[in-house]
Structure 1
Amino acid sequence: MTDVIARMGGRRPLAREAPRAIRLVGKVLTVLPARLAVLLSGRRPIVVDGNPLDPTLQLFLTLLRRTGVTGMLTGSGDAVDVAKSRAGMRDTCIGLGGPGAPVEVENLSAPGPAGPLGIRRYRSDPAAVGAVPALVYFHGGGFVVGDLDCYDALCRRLCRDLGVDVFSVDYRLAPQHKAPAAVEDCCAAYEWLVTHAADLGVCADRIVVGGDSAGGALTAVVTHWARDQARNRPLAQPCLQLLIYPVTVMTAQTRSRTLFAAGYLLTGADMDTFARLYVEGSGLAGTDPRVSPLLARDLSGLPPAIVITAGYDPLRDEGEQYAEALVQAGVSVTHLQMGGMIHGFINFPGLGGGVERSLAEVISTVGAHLQGFEAG
């Protein structure tokens, strides 16, 4: 088991069977009783700020640590191997993402600011009569790693359980493409969907924008952009924004960034490297609202928001700060605090237990909002 876990982080070349082996590890962890999981971790139950760490995640993190996997990136500083880091994230997400829901999938292409933009569509009901609601999803990965395949299982799940068409955006990544390339791609993808909503069978005024981590930051920035654009020209606004443990201040110095800087998958070193690869040399400062949406001057007039934070996430505090700032600006906010979770938990439902329950709660909360819009 420990050999498989080591390969998950890309510390060694990943074999072709890595996702299958990782999935097997997930199944083993799933069936372990909570007490046994904690016992096998070799530590007492971990409790920080009154939040007990999920037992399965505690054992999972222990396995990572014992095999030398210290974060999301392979290498450190200028020696980071981006290709291996991307492969490691892909295999981990595929291995622990759970079974893929049987929905129809098609790959589309939209015009982007730097050429064709890949968009993967997940159809909830290809035979549906009339326009259906949609979710535009921006994946996580620090603006550097992550891709459509990493998020395939999640997007299938969202499509099936929410009954919406999901459009997963293949935006450009750093370091090949510096900020604000990702922002420009995501804005273009949203505008394309709104403009072609009728042809796609999508209801233009029932489009949710959402994403996790870096994708959460992109979600926030897209809602700012759409609001500002609508002040000068007709552009349908998102009906809801889903921000899953978002990056909200690129240069944040929060307590959670210090408290969880090591040992909880996403590390302080990872975040420093992501920021450097995405922003350094871009011409943008780390305080620019296009990379730090919490620092935008005006947060009013934005669509209702669901903000998800995880108790053992370095990004926890800035996510909470963004939720509070939205409330202060008059935006309706539902804030779900997943106390026992770590950064990235939505990609690990294959671990079962509290991870699966937390993801199910996120999905049911989004579903309740969509039903509320229908009732209204």
Structure 2
Amino acid sequence: MQTSADLAAHLRAAARERGATRPRGPELAFVEDLSGPGGLPLRRYRPADGTRPLLVFLHGGGFVFCDLDTHDRTCRRIALACDLDVLAVDYRLAPEHPHPAAVMDAIAVLRRARPAAVAGDSAGGFLAAAACLALRDEGGPLPAVQALICPNTDLTLALPSVTDKGTGHGLTAEALAGFVEAFVPDPAERAAASPLHADDLAGLPTALVVTAEHDPLRDEGDAYARRLAQAGVTVRHRCETGLEHGFIQGMDLTDPAAAAAHERVFADLRDLVPR
């Protein structure tokens, strides 16, 4: 029987292989590996000399796989297209480090870096949202913008798209259940850990929430955008027609619709991140 550790090892190896075969992305003036809070690996991308806003990026990967290298191309493209410094975070992964380890890593980096924006895809979107909630609750400085791309916001996986889009569209409902089990092993703790189930979403940063039509996580991303708006948060939200989960990760190389969606995300970041 395959254990969660065995599954994580397989997924990490596959992600590294995909990353090794994907084009590197644009050359930038400065790319530097750094050590963050508690020795956390970070990578900073600077498109050119001079001062510009900082965006902290939290990668996806179901809380159990992906790293600085798998999302290197994405971070390079954001930095160049949006004229931002990007700080990517290699947070601790489940099952070795279950919740709240990754959330605490995200919070620690945001506390130290004090960026203009935080962004994440999939599990990284969860971490960005959860870290903003925690910083708001403690009264600490918040980024001006949270950019959530195909975010996981509901660890209970209770909304209809998990079932409706959970087969035949890349990311499966079965895989999602395995990721959540590795991240929060106790089902009784999953709602409390989920941004969508937070009692109050007022006072959070301006949000960019981008979901995809054929994503099992679509409904919870859409629902989080609605709840943010109802709480008085400024929200820019759209669901990308025809796209699947993870479109931000390399799908522009093979799908013109995904490439166009990337350009819309870049335009949003250029518009929303304060200069």
Identity %: 40
CA distance in 1 between counterparts of 2:7 and 2:225 reads: 34
Q: Where does residue 238 of structure 1 map in the other structure? A: 143
Q: Where does residue 248 of structure 1 map in the other structure? A: 153
TM-score of the aligned structures, taking structure 2 as reference length = 0.94
CA distance in 1 between counterparts of 2:244 and 2:2 reads: 21
CA distance in 2 between counterparts of 1:76 and 1:216 reads: 28
User: Are 1:90 and 2:16 counterparts?
Assistant: yes
CA distance in 1 between counterparts of 2:17 and 2:238 reads: 28
1:236-256 per-position Cα deviation (integer Å, ceiling 9, x unaligned): 320100000111110122221
1:180-235 per-position Cα deviation (integer Å, ceiling 9, x unaligned): 000001100111112xxxxxxxxx5xx100101110000001111221222xxxx4
| 233, 239, 244: which one aligns with 1:342 | 244
CA distance in 1 between counterparts of 2:174 and 2:249 reads: 21
Q: Where does residue 277 of structure 1 map in the other structure? A: 182
When residues 123 and 284 of structure 1 are mapped into structure 2, their CA distance, relative to the original with a 3 A threshold, is farther
Task: Please show how residues 278-293 of structure 1 align to structure 2 within 5 Å.
Answer: 278-280=183-185, 285-289=189-193, 292-293=194-195
TM-score of the aligned structures, taking structure 1 as reference length = 0.69
User: Are 1:100 and 2:22 counterparts?
Assistant: no
Task: Please show how residues 276-315 of structure 1 align to structure 2 within 5 Å.
Answer: 276-280=181-185, 285-289=189-193, 292-315=194-217
* Farther off after superposition, 346-355 or 320-329: 346-355
When residues 354 and 299 of structure 1 are mapped into structure 2, their CA distance, relative to the original with a 3 A threshold, is same
CA distance in 2 between counterparts of 1:352 and 1:256 reads: 23
Query: Is this contact kept in 2: 1:76–1:269, CA < 8 A?
Result: no
User: Are 1:165 and 2:82 counterparts?
Assistant: no
1:163-189 per-position Cα deviation (integer Å, ceiling 9, x unaligned): 111000010000110110000011001
Q: Where does residue 224 of structure 1 map in the other structure? A: 133
Q: Where does residue 121 of structure 2 map in the other structure? A: 212
CA distance in 2 between counterparts of 1:93 and 1:246 reads: 21
Q: Which runs of 5 or more structure 2 residues have no equivalent in the other structure?
A: none
Distance apart, 1:109 and its partner CA? 0.6
User: Are 1:359 and 2:259 counterparts?
Assistant: no
Runs of 4+ in 1 over 4 A off after TM superposition: 75-80
When residues 86 and 78 of structure 1 are mapped into structure 2, their CA distance, relative to the original with a 3 A threshold, is closer
When residues 78 and 87 of structure 1 are mapped into structure 2, their CA distance, relative to the original with a 3 A threshold, is closer
- Which amino acid is 1:209 matched to? V
- Which amino acid is 1:266 matched to? L
Q: Where does residue 122 of structure 1 map in the other structure? A: 45
User: Are 1:368 and 2:271 counterparts?
Assistant: yes
Task: Please show how residues 309-328 of structure 1 align to structure 2 within 5 Å.
Answer: 309-328=211-230
Query: Is this contact kept in 1: 2:210–2:239, CA < 8 A?
Result: yes
Query: Is this contact kept in 2: 1:244–1:308, CA < 8 A?
Result: yes
Give the CA RMSD over aligned residues.
Answer: 1.8
CA distance in 1 between counterparts of 2:57 and 2:238 reads: 19
1:110-136 per-position Cα deviation (integer Å, ceiling 9, x unaligned): 223xxx1111000122x21xx420100
1:236-279 per-position Cα deviation (integer Å, ceiling 9, x unaligned): 32010000011111012222111111111110110110011111
Structure label with greater radius of gyration:
1
Q: Which runs of 5 or more structure 1 residues have no equivalent in the other structure?
A: 1-74, 195-203
Distance apart, 1:284 and its partner CA? 7.1
Query: Is this contact kept in 1: 2:45–2:86, CA < 8 A?
Result: yes
Query: Is this contact kept in 2: 1:178–1:279, CA < 8 A?
Result: yes
When residues 99 and 107 of structure 1 are mapped into structure 2, their CA distance, relative to the original with a 3 A threshold, is closer
CA distance in 2 between counterparts of 1:215 and 1:228 reads: 20
When residues 343 and 368 of structure 1 are mapped into structure 2, their CA distance, relative to the original with a 3 A threshold, is same
Q: Secondary structure at the match of 1:287?
A: helix
Distance apart, 1:351 and its partner CA? 1.3
- Which amino acid is 1:270 matched to? A
Query: Is this contact kept in 2: 1:179–1:284, CA < 8 A?
Result: no
Distance apart, 1:89 and its partner CA? 2.0
User: Are 1:138 and 2:138 counterparts?
Assistant: no
Number of residue pairs aligned between Structure 1 and Structure 2: 273
User: Are 1:267 and 2:267 counterparts?
Assistant: no
CA distance in 2 between counterparts of 1:118 and 1:308 reads: 27
When residues 102 and 249 of structure 1 are mapped into structure 2, their CA distance, relative to the original with a 3 A threshold, is same
